[in-house]
Amino acid sequence: MSYRIITESSIRYPPFESSLMVPERLPSIHDEEVVAEVSQEEEAIECAEKLLPPFLVGRKDEWFVERKIIIEGPDGKQIFKPKSKLKIDPEEPPLAIEKQRTGWYLRPNPIHRHARKIVTFAVALLLIGLLFQTIEPLLVALGLIPEAIFGGVRFGLLDYPFLVVYVGPLMMVPYLLRLIANVRDLKHQQKFLSDPPAKPDILFLSPVVADSKLHCKINFSEPRDDWLSIRAWWQVGALPPTREKVMEILDKGINSQPPPGFSTPLPHYWEQGLSDGGGFGEETPLMQFDAPGGLFLRPLRMMSWGGRGSLPISGGELELSPPTPHWPGSNHGGLAAIHWEMIIRIDREKHGPLFWVHPVRVAHSSKQSIIEEVHINDGRIEDSISFEDDNHPIAA
């Protein structure tokens, strides 16, 4: 007679441009790991009690992340719920945290966001123009319009199609705007990297638990003269599964056809473990790769915010309320990963706000984490609500 202790992770993570996807039509991914195998039921329970608690973030028919503990014995599989007590994940955070979610970050030029809106308008105008050019002869024949409106436009001795004269230049505007925004972003990054501020000193004054207030002290040893105000908050979200982990679970080779929502293999110079394989090349503006992971913070696509507080320019103490409903603590699993971080926003006279991102290792609370409603972000950095002043849930 033997008992197996199994941890089961399941996820349906929102892909790039998840607003265009129907969650229930995309498959979820499951992974089972046998933690231990013992001969007695008491030993199995004792071993399962030492594991990180189970949780469910999101709804099973939408985007979700779930972790279960299962004890498999002679009578079959049974879901195990450990007794409530604080637990901290002993595993080290994934590489993506160190490379892409730690240190100083900038806000992309707002022109990126406006350019995308113009693209939508230009494409709609193009489709309307094509429709009217198609039915225009019929409208003229029926006498509904006196003469052709969408015909040629004469310049000198030559006639040019209506769409080329009016819609064509409008289609080029967003591309020109993106080019201007990318050039300004590159210059902004180069200037920042030439003289970055000193790192803030952050000291946590009490144990950090998922459903408790965060009490910390922040000190800026070298504040700049152009700093206007400082705000800080903490946030939590689910990290995307890496492409390598997903391909391993699906028992596919690295060069096999990727599953829905994932890209083809990434360039050879891109370090493994730094992308989920979705939206590469589209989620971020042009970046200076002199800074490991770039200087633009990628949005957590499933996330929640905790409380916010203001600080003097030199720093001070903060007490921040936890996100509600309360999330699970830090979980560094390969598939179901929960990440916490503190964001310090510094508003400046010029060049937009500056952000310091500090990962936080948070203990699981004594309560079970089941969250039905979860905020979903767009995959693009310039559209991320994390950088929106007016629409940010904690901006008020």
Chain-centroid distance of CA 319 in Å reads 25
Distance CA 117, CA 134 (A): 26
* Residue 372, helix vs strand vs coil: coil
Q: Are residues 75 and 99 in the same domain?
A: no
pLDDT in tens, 37-81: 888 888 888 898 889 999 999 999 999 999 999 999 888 888 888
Asked if residue 395 is part of any domain, the answer here is: no
Which of 145, 161, 189 terminates a domain? The answer is 189
What's the confidence (pLDDT) of residue 396? Answer: 41
> Has residue 395 got a pLDDT over 50?
no
Would 378 be classed as within a structural domain?
A: yes
Angstrom CA distances, 381 to 178, 193, 338, 356, stand at 14, 20, 20, 16
Last residue in a domain, options 129, 161, 189: 189
Residues 208 and 296 in one domain: yes
225 lies in the same domain as 337: yes
281 is a domain residue: yes
Instruction: Tell me which H or E stretch contains 66.
Output: strand 64-73
Do 99 and 236 reside in the same domain of the chain? yes
84-105 mean pLDDT:
86
Do residue 118 and residue 226 come from a single domain?
no
Which one, of 57, 58, 61, 71, lies nearest residue 2 by Cα? 71
Q: Tell me: do 231 and 374 sit in the same domain.
A: yes
Q: How confident is the model at residue 196 (pLDDT cuts 50, 70, 90)?
A: very high
Backbone angles phi, psi at 17, to 5 degrees: 55, 55
The partner residues of 69 in beta bridges, in order of sequence, read 7
Token pair 């590489």: residue: 95
pLDDT (tens digit per residue) in 214-265: 999 999 999 999 999 999 999 999 998 877 788 888 877 666 777 766 666 6
Whether residue 315 sits in one domain with residue 246: yes
| CA 182 – CA 109 distance, rounded (Å) | 8
Same-domain check for residues 182 and 223: no
- If asked whether residues 274 and 357 sit together in one domain, one would say yes
Q: Which tens digit of pLDDT belongs to each residue from 264-316?
A: 665 544 555 555 555 545 566 777 666 767 788 888 889 999 999 999 998 99
What's the domain count of the chain?
A: 3
Clarify whether residues 247 and 145 are in a common domain.
no
Question: Residue 22 domain-assigned?
Answer: yes
At residue 287, the pLDDT reads: 74
Range of the domain at 221: 95-108+198-387
Q: Is the residue at 270 inside a domain? A: yes
Mean pLDDT of the chain: 83
Residue in the block written with tokens 């800080």? 232
Q: Give yes or no: residues 14 and 58 share one domain.
A: yes
The answer as to whether 393 is a domain residue is no
- Lowest average pLDDT, out of 10-14, 58-62, 346-350, 376-380, goes to 376-380
Query: Distances in Å between the alpha carbon of 359 and those of 53, 99, 340?
Result: 21, 11, 6
Residues 382, 306 share a domain = yes
Tokens 């001969």 sit at which residue? 39
What confidence score (pLDDT) does residue 338 get?
A: 95
- The answer as to whether 85 is a domain residue is no
Using CA atoms, how far apart are residues 309 and 275, in angstroms rounded to an integer? 32
* 205 vs 41, more confident: 205
Residue 279 counted as domain residue: yes
